[in-house]
Amino acid sequence: MQAEQLLKTVTDVIDEHKGENITTLDVRDKTTVTDYMVIVTATSERHARALCSYVSEKVKKLGISHPGFEGEQGSDWVLLDLGDVILHVMTAQAREFYQLEKLWRMDASQDDESAVNR
């Protein structure tokens, strides 16, 4: 599956299941770890885990057999590593605290054309 197709699948699933403030970061020119990062706010810790589960189930059906899942029960940040796309699902408090969008900007003063809010 192409990275862009995987990205669309991930964002569609989290949008369908009420993920909030979905942000996609194109990090291809910043790291070799992944092509895209998706950051989304969940309404609760349970919602965060559920969103990752929904995405995991969907991509398994599409042929990605072993997505990496990080985040303990009761965690306010859950990560799903799909290779070309890494999904960060966070509570509003965790997202405010860690500010991943700001962290992945090359230059905070420049327009961040690689971030797209949905």
Residue 88, domain CATH: 3.30.460.10
Which pLDDT score is estimated for 104?
Answer: 84
Tens-place pLDDT, residues 80-118:
999 999 999 999 999 999 999 988 875 544 544 555 555
- pTM for this entry: 0.86
Confirm whether 111 is domain-assigned: no
Which pLDDT score is estimated for 117?
Answer: 58
Residue 73 has pLDDT above 80, yes or no: no
Confirm whether 112 is domain-assigned: no
Is residue 86 within 8 Å of residue 38, measured between CB atoms?
yes
Which pLDDT score is estimated for 64?
Answer: 84
When divided into structural domains, the chain yields a total of 1
Confirm whether 117 is domain-assigned: no
Beta bridge partners of residue 80, listed in sequence order? 69, 87
Confirm whether 113 is domain-assigned: no
Tens-place pLDDT, residues 9-68:
999 999 999 999 999 999 999 999 999 999 999 999 999 999 999 999 999 998 887 778
Side-by-side strand order, sheet with 77-81: 68-70, 77-81, 85-91, 36-42, 20-26, 115-117
**Cα 89 to Cα 29, 107, 118, distances in angstroms:** 23, 24, 15
Which pLDDT score is estimated for 106?
Answer: 58
Confirm whether 52 is domain-assigned: yes
Confirm whether 44 is domain-assigned: yes
Q: How would you classify the pairing of strands 20-26 and 115-117?
A: antiparallel
Give residue 19's domain range: 3-105
